[in-house]
Amino acid sequence: MRQKYNILVEEVKKLSVEEKEELKFLIERYLIDERREEIFKNYQKSKKEIKEEQLEFSDDIQRLKAML
């Protein structure tokens, strides 16, 4: 895997500035999309836990510390 990564890095170095900027844009979009998907999955999980009454809420700081 590391060797493939090194080859990829060397190939990226050979790209024009315009191609590197496009690659950067694409990677940023992919990261945003992945993060968005992660947030959505966490949201779905939380909704399920609330529905199944698995979540416990408290405004007591000592209780919150104990829950960790």
Q: Could you list the pLDDT tens digit for every one of the 68 residues in the chain?
A: 789 999 999 999 999 999 999 999 999 999 999 999 999 999 999 899 888 888 777 788 988 888 77
Residue 48 domain flag = yes
Report how many domains make up the chain: 1
Hey, what amino acid is at 43?
Y
Residue 34 domain flag = yes
Hey, what amino acid is at 67?
M
> What pLDDT does residue 35 have?
98
> What pLDDT does residue 53 have?
82
> What pLDDT does residue 29 have?
98
Domain range for 47:
17-67
Residue 3 domain flag = no
> What pLDDT does residue 17 have?
98
Q: What are the φ/ψ torsions at residue 57 (nearest 5 degrees)?
A: -110, 150
pTM of the model: 0.67
Residue 27 domain flag = yes
